[in-house]
Amino acid sequence: MKAITIGQLIGTQGTSRSIYKVDYQGEIQYISIDIGSNGYVVSANPTPRKLIQRFLGEDLDEKKN
């Protein structure tokens, strides 16, 4: 829920799954969330690294070093 309420929307995966950037316990996480027409969360999962890199235009592996 934190991703939806205070996370930063960075893009869309497919046609309906929003990708959020959120700080969780001091680490940046990227979560893909699909919300149904009734407002319920249909699915939520970690976003694939390659998809995040495409949206942000940066290599996430280089940031760790």
Max intra-chain CA distance, the chain:
43
What was the pLDDT predicted at 18?
Answer: 92
Q: How much is the pTM? A: 0.76
* Nearest one of 40, 44, 14, 42 to 30, comparing CA atoms: 44
In the prediction, which pLDDT does 21 show?
Answer: 92
